[in-house]
Structure 1
Amino acid sequence: MKTVGLYLVELLAAYGVDTVFGIPGVHTVEMYRGLPRSGIRHFTPRHEQGAGFMADGYARATGKPGVCFIISGPGLTNIATAMAQAYGDSVPMLVITSVNPPGRMGSGEGHLHELPDQRQLGRQFTAFSHTILRADELAQVVARAFAVFASARPRPVHIELPVDLLTADASALPPARKRPVPSRPAAEPQAVAAAAALCTAALRPIILAGGGAADAAVPMRRLAEALDAPVIMTVNGRGVLPAGHPLGVPCSPAMEATRALIETADLVIAAGTEFGPTDYDFYETGGARIGGKLIRIDIDAEQAMRGRPADQALISDAALALEALAAAVSPRPPGDGAARAKLARSGVRKALNPILRAGAHLMEVVRDTLPGVVIVGDSAQPVYAGCIDYAATRPRSWFCSATGYGTLGYALPAATGALIGTRRPTVCLIGDGGIQFTLPELGSAREAELPLIVLLWNNNGYGEIKSYMETRGIEPIGVDIFTPDFLTISRGFGCEAHRMKDHRELPALLEAALLRRCPTVIEIVEADYIAAINGQEEPALPAVAE
């Protein structure tokens, strides 16, 4: 007999799923029955939140949805934070959970894992949450999920199956197959023509590239060069123009120099960006004022109506809209675009305080030592530096949890997922406070024999929050936490571990780590690294909330 659990795995394989993250439980084992012969790999985290972060990192690095098998009740509540982070950053994630059978589902009788309404919980951080009540609706609901991932604003989807349905007979169902997904939306020709007219009339255009443009690097570059337009990239848009491109501004649009670039432009083209405050108003000073015309390119019509009102909206996949615009405008000779971009870049770099300058230096050493590296950040000082000023070599190679939902503990499992998905050199950049949220996931990476590199930025506590409390006149409390011996713990997990004594050791440590079949933890003492990189103190920027 083919069970519904077996049929589910066949459906996932038909849609090209090659990896599943999950912790088997009594309520999900029927999902696992078909995995060994499916060609789908399974990775076991040490906590359901870790599974969600791994799926998130896998999805961001590969562009494919991350898939999780999760038990009912505490499984869903544990993964909820990871799903919310993915929801905030528009990351495709498919979370499949079990749920109590009808009659026990939400009965209030106290059955194991019972919640009043598990599906309604899932609705808070998903594109949709659906309870499968009949075996013959499973294929349709899975098709809906992959339609969201392929053709709409990608966000998590939650599908739950009652435990008794997982063992039901699915032999009579049609063979599992991938249904054709809808095409990505393209902008209407008249809207493209109107936007092209605005482009032609502009003398000082710029482009804002968000995460929605991550797969639009080729048309983005073509349009930017045709218009001689600097391109400011949000964190999730970094690498759309590669490091070193004269029109690239791989810097936070919240900085004074990038705000000036935006405010002096007579045309702003915003592609795949929601104008979120964590990107555009990091220091809560009001953000840049757009005085010129604004073209918004967004796959989500509702999102295009939020925030900054557009003079022309293109409801479209970013790549399709940029291709259409690039084809509709005549290339102009180079003007002052490169000079404007350079002025913004240098202005941002000059504004960095010593700790942020050290963080930017650290990220650039990693990038230049490990070609093709994926850097995954948590919420820590060097990560903030990367959010402000870091030039990625290509899209999907730098992301973090410091924007959007803003959770801690993200980077270690997310970097694990990114490495599983890409097999490219992968670095986790995390603080000593954040890593204690998900430290057991070192065991997951060791079990998978992954050459993951963990750069552990240690300031012995929640240093940024302590500084912020002091600037607000609040006596620090709860921030001077006990800091364990991370090197001993790492070795206990079977990992290599080193405390960096000299910043010049870093390239050799990074290169050696790639040759191992286990994670390498490199502890960096914050004060030592800052002292080594900075020659003199400079005025500090306002504190960034951790």
Structure 2
Amino acid sequence: MSVAHWLVRALEALGIDTVFGIPGVHTIELYRGLEGSRLRHVTPRHEQGAGFMADGYARASGRPAACFIITGPGMTNIATAMGQALADSVPMLVISSVNRRAELGMGEGRLHELPSQQQTLSGVSLFSHTLLDPANLPRVLTRAWTMLHTGRPGPVHIEIPRDLLDAPLDAELPLPGRCHPPQAATAALDQAAAWLGAARRPLLLLGGGAIADPAAARALAERLDAPTLTTINARGVMGRGHPLDLGANATWPEVRALVAEADVVLAIGTELGETDYDVTFDGGFTLPERLIRIDINPRQLCGNHLPALGIVAEAGAAMRDLLPRLTPGAHEAAARVAELKAALALATRPDFAPFVPLFDALDQYRRDAVLVGDSTAPVYAGNHLAQRDATRSWFNASTGYGTLGYGLPAAIGAALACPERPVVALVGDGGVMFTLAELATAVELALPLTLVLWHNAGYAEIRQAMTHAGIAPLGVDPAAPAFLPLAHAFGCAAERISSPAALAEALATPCTAPRLLEIDAAAWQTATSPASRGSAATP
């Protein structure tokens, strides 16, 4: 069979079931291979959308999807999505075409030519390889697949020259043997247990790596009796309303005081990055000297905060191995957490309070939903306010790479990955314009997706930042389209929302196809002002 046919059959053998891509003249042979296969192909309206869909698919399900991307502009288009996936440790398999082998590096102005496509994409990939011999494809694919499953996840990229896609390949389909991630050293676990056992004020930090085993994470927090901070990507790992869970609130002064009091900090599966621990970007988040870090990536252990004890291991296995070594703590942590939550009073903060009714309505009518967010005001508030019952139910692009336009296509990926669950995308009028064309994809697929659009007339966050810095706001007031008729033109139901009661009434209606709920931010703010806050958030 040809390389293209072999590759499609190999993806099936590896368990891939969904491919996102836009066919082009350089990739049509891949589509010859798709004919008659079990792979579901989804056509986005832009390659960036393909990458975000694959990202949302993986975050919601824990399973990687594949992308088939054309040479040159297709790859530079998806590079932004790959950068977001790399920053947030999201697995993604990107297969692309590239110019013929004899043309590579020649700079002769060929169609879609880059000086070095592989070099361009290697900066947003864990692994990027140019196939030069068809016989190497089984080994290259096996290596890429192994990297997706045994280390810190992220995007991997294989590019195949045009003249090889229809080349013959007679090889066994790859079914890689099971590769075990690294396990914690016994001596390191014993040392960690000794320090934690002697601690009077332990503190637990859980990152996205910990969602592999939420039960072990909760058991560890309870055994230590330690206040627990979770990152945005770990939302739900402690369940809803756990008495030890402080959420993603490490940036507030009250919580920083708690961190400063800690004598031992255990950080698991977290890069300790500023978008989780220092969202005021003042460098004020510091950790005590006795810091224990557990991470699957040895390079990560030395990033941001140097540990006194670094343990290279997969988070779930390390937590399970550490638990029997620990004696139950008695630190009255739940009382300390309750005291801190009362002091924070996040629901009454002027910048958060207007969004409390929004999340109340989502809890009432979409409690089991996957909530996918862009960089927008409701998401910023939700990073601190939203409660989730389980992991893989809250993720957005406001961390790490911080890409605008993520929410809608990532929600499409989540809806495809988890058809049994409702999916809600939280977007802003500025950010959604980056990828609004993907609404056509959602309509084409007839996905029961709710798009909640916060319309505050442009880039409000940047407008406020410019004003605060004494800079005349410029470039932050892009003209918005009339979203309702635009949605109708796509074939999408749409309505305008001006109050919590109207949102609750809309969410109470079953969603069987894509629909857009446009929240008029000014009207909503008026409806949720202190003078009007007594109005009920029910229909």
TM-score after normalising by structure 2: 0.96
**Alignment-mate amino acid for residue 374 of structure 1:** V
Distance 1:390 1:89 in 2: 20
* Residues 453, 520 of structure 1: 8 Å contact kept: yes
1:164 pairs with 2:163? yes
> Per-residue deviation at 1:532?
2.4
Query: Which residue number corresponds to residue 537 of structure 2?
Result: none
Greater CA deviation, 446-455 or 347-356? Answer: 347-356
* Residues 375, 397 of structure 1: 8 Å contact kept: yes
1:397 pairs with 2:393? yes
Distance 1:312 1:533 in 2: 48
> Per-residue deviation at 1:337?
1.0
* Residues 354, 534 of structure 1: 8 Å contact kept: no
> Per-residue deviation at 1:429?
0.3
Query: Which residue number corresponds to residue 383 of structure 2?
Result: 387
Distance 1:253 1:180 in 2: 41
Query: Which residue number corresponds to residue 21 of structure 1?
Result: 20
Distance 1:342 1:531 in 2: 31
* Residues 55, 93 of structure 1: 8 Å contact kept: yes
Query: Which residue number corresponds to residue 526 of structure 1?
Result: 521
> Per-residue deviation at 1:37?
2.6
Listed as ranges, the matches of 1:1-150 within 5 Å are 2-150=1-149
1:234-260 Cα offsets, whole Å, 9 max, x none, are 100111101111111223311223222
1:9-32 Cα offsets, whole Å, 9 max, x none, are 111111100111001111112112
Q: 1:480 aligns with which of 477, 497, 501?
A: 477
> Per-residue deviation at 1:536?
6.8
Distance 2:258 2:506 in 1: 39
Listed as ranges, the matches of 1:202-217 within 5 Å are 202-217=199-214
* Residues 143, 181 of structure 1: 8 Å contact kept: no
**Alignment-mate amino acid for residue 530 of structure 1:** Q
Query: Which residue number corresponds to residue 541 of structure 1?
Result: none
1:452 pairs with 2:462? no
> Per-residue deviation at 1:440?
0.5
Distance 1:255 1:26 in 2: 53
Query: Which residue number corresponds to residue 405 of structure 2?
Result: 409
Secondary structure of 2:299's partner? helix
Distance 1:366 1:460 in 2: 23
**Alignment-mate amino acid for residue 379 of structure 1:** S
Q: Which runs of 5+ in 2 are unaligned?
A: 533-539
Distance 1:304 1:295 in 2: 9
1:42-80 Cα offsets, whole Å, 9 max, x none, are 111000000000001111111111310000000000101
Distance 2:188 2:497 in 1: 55
Distance 2:237 2:461 in 1: 30
* Residues 298, 312 of structure 2: 8 Å contact kept: yes
* Residues 232, 248 of structure 1: 8 Å contact kept: yes
* Residues 257, 345 of structure 1: 8 Å contact kept: no
* Residues 9, 34 of structure 1: 8 Å contact kept: yes
Number of residue pairs aligned between Structure 1 and Structure 2:
531
> Per-residue deviation at 1:511?
3.5
Distance 1:343 1:65 in 2: 41
Distance 1:25 1:198 in 2: 58
Aligned pair in 2 of structure 1 residues 259, 534: CA closer, same or farther (>3 Å)? farther
Q: Which runs of 5+ in 1 are unaligned?
A: 538-546
Aligned pair in 2 of structure 1 residues 533, 267: CA closer, same or farther (>3 Å)? farther
Secondary structure of 1:76's partner? helix
Distance 2:363 2:137 in 1: 44
Query: Which residue number corresponds to residue 173 of structure 1?
Result: 171
**Alignment-mate amino acid for residue 349 of structure 1:** A
* Residues 130, 158 of structure 2: 8 Å contact kept: yes
Query: Which residue number corresponds to residue 426 of structure 2?
Result: 429
Distance 1:305 1:251 in 2: 22
Aligned pair in 2 of structure 1 residues 502, 390: CA closer, same or farther (>3 Å)? closer
Q: Compute the RMSD of aligned alpha carbons.
A: 1.6
Distance 2:451 2:422 in 1: 11
* Residues 209, 270 of structure 2: 8 Å contact kept: yes
Secondary structure of 2:461's partner? helix
* Residues 138, 171 of structure 2: 8 Å contact kept: no
Distance 2:271 2:489 in 1: 43
Distance 2:175 2:317 in 1: 24
Aligned pair in 2 of structure 1 residues 33, 360: CA closer, same or farther (>3 Å)? farther
**Alignment-mate amino acid for residue 365 of structure 2:** T
Q: 1:535 aligns with which of 517, 526, 530?
A: 530
Aligned pair in 2 of structure 1 residues 368, 325: CA closer, same or farther (>3 Å)? farther
**Alignment-mate amino acid for residue 402 of structure 2:** G
1:339-382 Cα offsets, whole Å, 9 max, x none, are 12223333333486323222344234213321321111111111
> Per-residue deviation at 1:267?
1.6
Query: Which residue number corresponds to residue 544 of structure 1?
Result: none
> Per-residue deviation at 1:216?
2.1
Q: Percent identity?
A: 46
Distance 1:183 1:264 in 2: 37
Distance 2:105 2:378 in 1: 45
Aligned pair in 2 of structure 1 residues 25, 322: CA closer, same or farther (>3 Å)? same
Aligned pair in 2 of structure 1 residues 276, 519: CA closer, same or farther (>3 Å)? same
Query: Which residue number corresponds to residue 282 of structure 2?
Result: 285
Listed as ranges, the matches of 1:198-277 within 5 Å are 198-277=195-274
Distance 1:286 1:119 in 2: 36
1:184 pairs with 2:181? yes
Distance 2:148 2:84 in 1: 16
* Residues 28, 70 of structure 1: 8 Å contact kept: yes
Greater CA deviation, 150-159 or 356-365? Answer: 356-365
**Alignment-mate amino acid for residue 160 of structure 1:** E
* Residues 208, 233 of structure 1: 8 Å contact kept: yes
Distance 2:165 2:485 in 1: 43
